[in-house]
Amino acid sequence: MRILGIDPGLVTTGFGVIEADGPRLRYIASGTIKTREAAIGDLPGRIRIIFEGVREVVATWQPQAAALEIVFVNVNPQSTLLLGQARGAALAALVSADLTVTEYTAVQMKKAVVGHGQARKEQIQAMVARLLQLPGEPGKDAADALGLAIAHAHAGGTFAAAAASTTLTRRQHAQYKGGRIY
C-alpha cells in the first residue's frame, strides 16, 4: 500500500510517501510545500498554495491512503487557528482526491517511530532515515510527514480491523442537548 503522510504548516507543509508491504517499508518521495511566494498577510494565497501543492503530490505519487497530523493547541490561540486552517486546506485536498485520511497526534507518531512521545525532531529524522534506509536524514518537516506515513503503516491495519469489527453508535455529550457525534 502506498501511504502519503502530511505534516501541515502555514509556511511549510511537509509530505512523505512510502510503500508498505507488511512490515517492510520503502521510501518513495518526500519534500515540502512552501508558501513564501504569497505575502505574509495573504492567508487565502497561502491556503491555495497548500491545497494545490497537496493535490499535485497526490496526482504525482498516487497514494492509496493518507495520514495527517492533528493540530495541537499552542500557547498562542491565533497560531493554533492559522495552523488549523493550513491543516484544513491539506485535508480538503486529500478528501477531494477521494483518499481515506487517518489522523494521528504528534505523540502517536513519535511513539510509532522513535518509541516515546517526547522525541525531539532530530531523533525523528534519524529514526526515519534508519527505518527507510535513507542515505541521509530528511528535513524536519519531511521527516515528520514520513513519520506519519510510517505510523499509519504500523497502525492502519489495526484501526481498519477495529472499525470493521465494531459498530459505532451515536452518543450524546452531557453539555449539549443535541449531542456530538463521536
Per-residue pLDDT tens digits for 135-162 = 999 999 999 999 999 999 998 666 666 5
Percentage of the chain lying above the pLDDT 90 cut = 76
- CA distance linking residue 140 with residue 159, whole number of Å: 27
pLDDT on residue 109: 96
Residue 144 is labelled as binding a ligand: no
Whether residue 98 lies in the annotated active site:
no
**H or E stretch at 21:** strand 12-21
What does pTM read for this prediction? 0.86
Q: Half-sphere exposure of residue 62, counting CA atoms within 13 Å on the CB side? A: 0
**H or E stretch at 53:** helix 43-61
Query: Is the pLDDT reported for residue 178 higher than 80?
Result: no
Among 52, 54, 57, 90, residue whose Cα is nearest residue 71: 90
Q: Which of 21, 42, 52, 141 is catalytic?
A: 141
Residue 21 is labelled as binding a ligand: no
- CA distance linking residue 65 with residue 102, whole number of Å: 8
Residue 59: what are its φ and ψ, rounded to 5°?
-65, -40
Per mean pLDDT, which range of 119-123, 149-153, 161-165, 171-175 is the poorest? Answer: 171-175
Whether residue 7 lies in the annotated active site:
yes
Q: Which of 19, 37, 69, 144 is catalytic?
A: 69
Question: Residue range 68-93: average pLDDT?
Answer: 91
pLDDT on residue 34: 97
Q: Are 145 and 130 in contact (CB under 8 A)?
A: no
Query: Is the pLDDT reported for residue 172 higher than 60?
Result: no
pLDDT digit string, tens, across residues 14-66? 999 999 998 999 999 999 999 999 998 899 999 999 999 999 999 999 999 99
Whether residue 141 lies in the annotated active site:
yes
Chain mean position to CA 14: 8
- CA distance linking residue 145 with residue 143, whole number of Å: 5
Beta bridge partners of 21: 24
